Amino acid sequence: MKKQQGLTLIGFVFILIIVGFFAYMAMKLVPAYAEYMGVVKAMNSLASEPDLATKSPEDIQRDLAFKGSFQYADDNVFSPQNIHIKNGPAGGTLQVKYDKDIPFLYNIDFLLHFDKTVPLKPSGGA
């Protein structure tokens, strides 16, 4: 007598539920990480501008929000409390730090914390 091998219907449904759960989780999380990649791209683009040292923090925030809009970044990401500019003799840094709250199931949410710092060119140019 030959022994049967394979997956039962109950086993298949169980695997399908697990795969569906992780696929749903990915559908919720991937857009937030894609937005973060757009924020990083906008920050790197802005940091490489040669006339950045002559701009005020408000101008930098406005330019960052403008560049971020092409990357499908949310306007709330570029609010004044999320953007920090530090100047120094060897250049400075531009930091964007924000939290993203993503509803998942019932009363379960994902809280994602994003924090990126890029170096700015020194005022003399490099």
pLDDT tens per residue, range 97-120 = 999 999 998 999 999 999 999 987
Task: Specify the pLDDT at position 5.
Answer: 80
User: How many C-beta atoms lie closer than 10 Å to residue 15's C-beta?
Assistant: 11
Radius of gyration of the chain (CA): 22
Please, are residues 68 and 47 in contact by the beta-carbon 8 Å criterion?
A: no
Segment (H or E) for 107: none
Higher-scoring residue by pLDDT: 33, 88: 33
What global pTM score does this model have?
0.80
- Token pair of 100 as six digits: 């993203």
- Three-point CA angle 63, 113, 41, nearest 5°: 35
- Model confidence at 90: pLDDT above 80: no
Dump pLDDT digits (tens) for 11-59. Answer: 999 999 999 999 999 999 999 999 999 999 999 988 888 777 777 888 8
DSSP 8-class letter at 94: E
